Amino acid sequence: QELASAFPFNPNKAAEYDPDAALAPPEGPSVRPADPIVGASTVTERNGSDKVGSGSPNIGQNPTVGPLDRVRVDSTNRVLTTNQGVPIADNQHSLKAGLRGPTLLEDFILREKITHFDHERIPERIVHARGSAAHGVFECTQAIPEFTRASLLGEVGKQTPVFVRFSTVLGERGSTDTARDVRGFAVKFYTDQGNWDLVGNNIPVFFIQDAMKFPDLVHAAKPEPHFAMPQAGTAHDTFWDFASLMPEITHMLMWAMSDRAIPRSYRTMQGFGVHTYRLVNDEGESHFVKFHWSPKAGTHSLVWDEAVKISGADPDFHRRDLWEAIEAGAYPEYELGLQVFTEEQAEGFSFDVLDATKIVPEELVPIVPVGRMVLNRNPDNFFAETEQVAFCVAHVVPGIDFSNDPLLAGRIHSYVDTQISRLGGPNFHEIPINAPIAQVHNNQRDGIHRQAIHRGRVSYEPNSLGGGCPFQAGAAGLVSFPEPREADDHKVRGKAERFADHYTQATLFWNSQTDVEKQHIINAFRFELSRVQTPAVRERMVSGLMHVDADLAQAVATGLGIREMPTPMPKVMTRELTPEVTASPALSLFARPGDGSIRARRIAIVVADGCEAASLVALAQRLTAEGAVARFVSTALGAVEPTSGDAIEVDVSLEAAPSVLYDAMVLPAGADAVRRLQTDGRTLEFIKDQYRHCKPLLAFGEGAQLLTACGIETDAADPGLIVATTDATDATDAFVAALAKHRHFARETDPPRV
């Protein structure tokens, strides 16, 4: 008894001694209950689980995989032990034969520590290695039993726990967050019918049409094999060589060269299932479906110059943003929308819905909102959760099924396959973050690191010795949609005809962009292709772009110094298809400005000795009250003495957190302060970057002189540039409105003026 209280038992094992203690959530700061969506009715928590369920009897009761609290470890007030639970007396010194003598082989404590350390790393994901994740809740807002028997969409208000991982595709695990790249948007729904993984991207189309080409695509895009450069980017010869020879890539390139590939935040990007999937209802009827996530905060991006600079200033920019927003209670929220259509409708479309390089325009099939997802809790441990989570396209639940998209088919195979090597064996579904809430019963046995302790002698089916258990669910289980085959289908390698239309939707995307977005796309092509060393590759790309839009191709060619336009690339499909839609405003990033909130936006309020504090402090209070993050910035840390009132403690120096890490900037009034700031080149550089990146700027009083010193015209008609007297509350209002709008591109020029 005495020993037990001195060295409490491992809580993972405590159930064997004290079942009540085992079921109680462990104490300590690392464990917080999930925050339910406010106002929702059906949140129940079992066993203190973070996996908030819908109240079905299975939730939290699974003896094998159970809630995550079962495996959480909190060492507060605990003694240091070996992996066998033996208390360690001295963690500083190895065991030696005399103080200056050799270290002994006998020192199993040293060897255990070093051996474990030696094996800490697991292989990173071959793609999407760099990622960040969060826990949350999905809530059904419109039940659609007429389309699907998936229980998570069966009842309004029903809540399903989720774990979401965002990622870049190309970079290694430690690469920068703000590289130009597609972002992964993978959602694991822990439903009461088993896990459903919707493994999507922030761009609704893909580079290739057939899984057969995926290793080629990734080999071309990853660092070149001879010298392993460049990291986390496509601006190199092998990618564009491949791209220029694969015209099916054209539509995706338009998206990837747009500002979609440099999001401001994971909170401000859309997500897409990309492929056409199927919904199947209780009667076995099927509809095609496309999945869309839309952020409540709107779609906002960085500008390229800014993204490049952030890579140096804070390579963890997106990871930090997601973490801090959740810690601050500014929970990222997304709406799930569906495009549901019939097979007959799909046959009539001018494009093939099995081709992942095509979208279904919203004008053709509207998006119907069915739910919302709130990310409300950061993981406790990056490795255990974010790194070990294993998403898999094959994880579907009854009511959700696949289409024949040939890209999807390859993915159904690839994910589970790669995870067997990445996570070291076939039992990775038992790793707590991957384990379903639904109970797991089957006759799969053994394998490396098996956790479940299966009872009884039956591990086969049919059986009589185990009473026939576990038994087949029959119609209540997952029944694949019995899709009829065409009578004349032959085994063949090839593609359906409409897959060969490589340009119509690339043109649709181009035509749907605003002028600002078009210019950014041109600049991105110019940048990426300027890095390509092989002139023939650059020319071949331009010859393909000529089919998208003549102006686009010309502008890119000019940027590359190509004086004579090449012959357009021969088209694979000569038959002209008539698209249903030639412009879709919904494809512009500006179509989703968001809810007008400024939550989690970061504002630099510049201060220096001799500034007028009252207006700045009042502004900081207002911004904080609206959920924004206001930071007092100066040339160095320490306290700043204003003209009157209390000293202002500087939060961060210009050096430590340059301009690109802020969404907006405020310059103080006060002649002395302005004189001081003006003599520091870094302040002016800070202001210039804010201006060049089209961010809101507010200058009080003499602060406007700093703008002039940067060559910024203060009387320009620019709603993002506000010059005010110190007591102007309407200026503060204008600033908050400018902040909610995010960027003010009207001032942008190419090349930049400032």
CB-CB neighbours of 485 under 10 Å: 7
460 is in an annotated binding site: no
Nearest to ligand HDE of 126, 746 (CB atom): 126
Residues lying near ligand HDE in the complex (CB under 6 A) are found at 125-128, 131, 165, 167, 184, 186, 199-201, 206, 211, 214, 274, 356, 391, 407, 410-411, 414-415, 418-419
Tell me which residue has its CB nearest to ligand HDE. 184
In degrees, rounded to 5, the angle at the alpha carbon of residue 82 between the alpha carbons of residues 78 and 88 is 65
> Are the CB atoms for 569 and 713 separated by under 8 Å?
no
- DSSP class per residue in 116-185: HHHT---PPPSSS-SEEEEEEEEEESS--TTT---GGGSSTT-EEEEEEEEEESSS-TTS-TTSS--EEE
For residue 704, the minimal CB distance to ligand HDE (Å) is: 46
Distances from the Cα of 568 to the Cα of 130, 240, 571, 682, 718, angstroms: 38, 17, 8, 47, 41
17 is in an annotated binding site: no
422 is in an annotated binding site: yes
Q: Which of 62, 195, 201, 434 is catalytic?
A: 201
Q: Please report the sign of the dihedral spanned by the C-alpha atoms of residue 700, residue 705, residue 710, residue 711.
A: positive
For residue 546, the minimal CB distance to ligand HDE (Å) is: 27
Nearest to ligand HDE of 199, 629 (CB atom): 199
Q: Which residues contact 167 (CB under 8 A, 6 or more apart)?
A: 125, 128, 129, 130, 131, 132, 183, 184, 186
Nearest to ligand HDE of 395, 742 (CB atom): 395
Longest dimension (CA), the chain: 91
Q: Which residues contact 433 (CB under 8 A, 6 or more apart)?
A: 68, 163, 384, 385, 388, 389
538 is in an annotated binding site: no
For residue 213, the minimal CB distance to ligand HDE (Å) is: 8
To the nearest 10°, report the CA torsion of 516, 519, 520, 526. Answer: -170
Nearest to ligand HDE of 165, 692 (CB atom): 165
Nearest to ligand HDE of 419, 523 (CB atom): 419
411 is in an annotated binding site: yes
> Are the CB atoms for 414 and 390 separated by under 8 Å?
no
The amino acid that residue 423 corresponds to is L
Distances from the Cα of 592 to the Cα of 268, 301, 318, 457, 585, angstroms: 10, 12, 20, 58, 10
Q: Please report the sign of the dihedral spanned by the C-alpha atoms of residue 212, residue 215, residue 220, residue 222.
A: positive
For residue 745, the minimal CB distance to ligand HDE (Å) is: 29
Nearest to ligand HDE of 131, 670 (CB atom): 131
For residue 411, the minimal CB distance to ligand HDE (Å) is: 5
Strands (E), 296-444: 333-341, 368-377, 400-402
Nearest to ligand HDE of 266, 686 (CB atom): 266
Q: How far is residue 392's CA from residue 336's CA, in Å, rounded to a whole number? A: 19
For residue 602, the minimal CB distance to ligand HDE (Å) is: 26
In terms of Cβ atoms closer than 10 Å to its own Cβ (0-12, 13-18, 19+), residue 6 is exposed
What's the token pair of residue 19?
């079942």
- Kindly give the pairing relationship between strand 638-640 and strand 629-634: unpaired
Nearest to ligand HDE of 200, 668 (CB atom): 200
Asked about 429 being catalytic, the answer comes back as no
382 is in an annotated binding site: no
CB-CB neighbours of 346 under 10 Å: 18
> Are the CB atoms for 390 and 188 separated by under 8 Å?
no
For residue 278, the minimal CB distance to ligand HDE (Å) is: 16
For residue 207, the minimal CB distance to ligand HDE (Å) is: 8
Nearest to ligand HDE of 165, 518 (CB atom): 165
To the nearest 10°, report the CA torsion of 52, 53, 54, 58. Answer: -160
For residue 420, the minimal CB distance to ligand HDE (Å) is: 10
Asked about 202 being catalytic, the answer comes back as no
Q: How far is residue 225's CA from residue 683's CA, in Å, rounded to a whole number? A: 42
Q: Please report the sign of the dihedral spanned by the C-alpha atoms of residue 690, residue 694, residue 700, residue 703.
A: positive
Q: How far is residue 25's CA from residue 33's CA, in Å, rounded to a whole number? A: 9
The binding site for heme consists of 125, 165, 214, 411, 415, 422
Annotated catalytic residues are 128, 201
The binding site consists of 125, 165, 214, 411, 415, 422
